[in-house]
A = this chain, B = another copy of it.
């Protein structure tokens, strides 16, 4: 197994934290240099034609792209400590929260960055989308803050993949100057998850 990683990007970080929580180590890691647009190179397109990281390449030449799919694979490989749910109810609730975080937090933040930052200035940018998407993400952050007033973790009242994904997304959100500074429950949750050894993965 080989992980195609990019040290500073938020999506590969999800996988690194997921692996750290499971104690999965000693995997071969290949860094893909996004600043040089290496993810769009011919050699990497052979691994993932859509040009995204992370990718987990298996020894049987299957290439798993998308962090959600890599985590699903790793959960099958090493079920415990489970991060995608124990029983059917938990699996459903964690899948629900993962979908919400993807649609209402990650994508708006990613798109706001993509359509406002100078790094992408050579591609089409719909500049009116950037502040709108940022506002949508802000709304969902309020929703999560309210949820966290009743719960210590994002789903099932215990640490899961949902906490990993939210952590990676909100720390990335600094690039569009979106912060949780005024959200007291969110801040308390942030301290809670930052205290875990996996945080530095």
**What residues of chain A have their CB less than 8 Å away from a CB belonging to chain B?**
49-50, 58, 60, 62, 64-66, 68-70, 72-73, 76-77, 88-89, 91-93, 95-96, 98-100, 102-104, 107, 124, 126, 128-129, 132, 143
Contacts and interface: CB of A to CB of B under 8 A. Distances in A.
Given A100-B50, A124-B132, A95 B107 contact: no
Q: How many copies does the complex hold?
A: 2
B88 A73 contact: yes
Contacts of A102: 102-103
A128 B73 CA distance: 38
A60 B92 CA distance: 13
Secondary structure of the A side of the interface? helix
A62 B87 CA distance: 13
8 contacts: A49-B143, A50-B104, A65-B96, A66-B95, A66-B99, A69-B96, A69-B99, A102-B102
